[in-house]
Structures are given as structure tokens and as C-alpha cells.
Structure 1
Amino acid sequence: MATLPNHRPKQLSLGPLETEILHIVWELGTVAVKDVHDRILSDPERELAYTSVTTILQRLTQKGWLCCDRQNRIYTWQAIVSKEQALSLRAYEQLNQFLAVGNPDVVAAFADSLDQTSVDQLEAIAQRLRAIRKAREDQ
């Protein structure tokens, strides 16, 4: 399981094209605009301007998902946050939003409607949290 990264993007919400391009960066590692553009255009049903890819890569950099490096005259991008860390961040944010409801009755009603497998998962999570906190206290 991926831990929460030390670096957190400034903005977690991404549009569909931003998400698609981020997945391409995760898959390829280090990319230039041409790499991403070629990957998208490998689908004959797709059309996308080269400049649009550049704009999206710049937006993902501004949002804190990517870092940009310039070598000679070529710009390349890499992900700052791994795919696994991004999933952890999203789960963390969703859980915080759910708990922000602030009404224990709503949370309890939701928890009461869960099936046994989900209840078992919640119990396993609670046990793991207790172990993590105990280990932290013992340090």
C-alpha cells in the first residue's frame, strides 16, 4: 500500500484530458510533448492539437502533479506523485469529506448498512491504525 506522499498537489481535481495525460506520464515515466501527443493520436478516432498537450502538461505542472525539466531545447515532464500515491491521496480526501459531514448518526447509519465483508475491512483498518499509533508512541 502506498503511503501519503510528502508532496501533495495544489489541486487534486483533474479534468478528463488532464487525467488521461497524467496516466500516460505514469506509464511512460519521462515524457516530451511529442511522446504524449503521439500516444493520444495512436487512436485514429482522436484529434488533439500539439499545443493542447503542451497546455495540459503545463497545467499539471502548475497544479503540482508534474515537474518540468529543460535539457538543451527539449522540455520533459515527470510525475511528482506516483499513481499509487495519487490513489492514497484521493482516498484520504474522500474519507475526510465523508467524515466532515460531522453528524455521527449519518456516519453510523452508513456503517450499519455495510455488508459483512466491508465491516471486516473496517475492523482490519482500525486494528492497523491502533498498531501504527502504538508503534509511533513506542518510538
Structure 2
Amino acid sequence: MPPLPDYRPKQLSLGPLETEILNIVWDMGTATVKDVHDQILADPDRELAYASVTTVLRRLTNKGWLTCHKQGKAFYWQPLVSRKQAQAIKSYDQLHRFLAVSNPDVVASFADSLDTASLEQLSEIATRLQAIRKKREEKR
């Protein structure tokens, strides 16, 4: 997973349609409303108004996930963070929310209930943290 980017979207929570459309834009890199609309309608069982796609793209822009620029008569949307950066941002946010509402006993109880594979992952994470902190100290 990549390190946390300096940029974070204003609002992390996304609805199902917002998530679907964001994934389409990530796959395309740059997309117009028509590009996204055509991709959704490629599924013969789907119906979605062109105006609805426009609304969701604008909403994703307002939430800080996309940027929009006009070229000629068309508007083009691009992601402001990559899919991997978004995963890192969301994971970081979830972990911080979990730690903020939990006392050390709850966190310890949760960790104690993990299976062996998860405990090995936690051990690997702790090792990586030590290496990162050591490098940071060496730079000072």
C-alpha cells in the first residue's frame, strides 16, 4: 500500500453509485459524462439517466475525489487520488476512528481475538513501523 498522500478528499464517504462511477473514472483515467454513461449502459439490465451521471460526477468533484476541466465543449473528469491512495486514506481513517472510540482494553481484546494469520500481519506491521521510525530518526 502506498504512503498516505498529502491530498485528502473533503468527504470520504461515498454511496454505491458514487463508488461505481469513481471506479469507472479510475479505470479510464479521464472521462466525460458520455464515457461514464456509456460504460454503465453497456450492461443491458441497467438504466441510468445521463443527467444522473452528471450529478454524481459533480458530487464527486464537490467531495474532492475528482477534478473537472473543460476542453472545447466537453467537460472532462479526472481523479485527484489513485485507487491505491484512496484505499490507504480510507484504511487510515477507519483505523483512527476505531482507536478514537476504543479504550486500550477494547483494542487489546479485539487483537486477542484475531486468527494466527492476522496476528502475523500485525507482527509484520510492527516490524515495518520500527524500520520507518528508525529511518525517520536517522534523517534528523
TM-score normalised to structure 2 length? 0.96
CA distance in 1, matches of 2:9, 2:111: 30
**Equivalent in the alignment of 1:138:** 138
CA distance in 1, matches of 2:135, 2:107: 28
* 1:1-139 matched pairs, under 5 angstroms: 1-139=1-139
Q: Which amino acid aligns with 1:54?
A: T
Q: Which amino acid aligns with 2:14?
A: L
CA distance in 2, matches of 1:75, 1:111: 48
Gaps of 5+ in 1: none
CA distance in 2, matches of 1:34, 1:135: 48
CA drift at 1:80: 0.6
Deviations, residues 49-87 of structure 1 (Å, cap 9, x unaligned)? 101101100110010000001111110000011000111
CA distance in 1, matches of 2:7, 2:68: 16
Deviations, residues 27-68 of structure 1 (Å, cap 9, x unaligned)? 011000000000001111111110110110011001000000
Aligned residue for 2:76, secondary structure, equals: strand
CA distance in 1, matches of 2:15, 2:102: 29
Identity of aligned residues (%): 65
Q: Which amino acid aligns with 1:119?
A: L
Moved over 3 A (4+): none
How many residues align? The count is: 139
CA drift at 1:133: 0.9
CA distance in 2, matches of 1:2, 1:68: 25
Gaps of 5+ in 2: none
CA distance in 2, matches of 1:2, 1:25: 20
CA drift at 1:97: 1.1
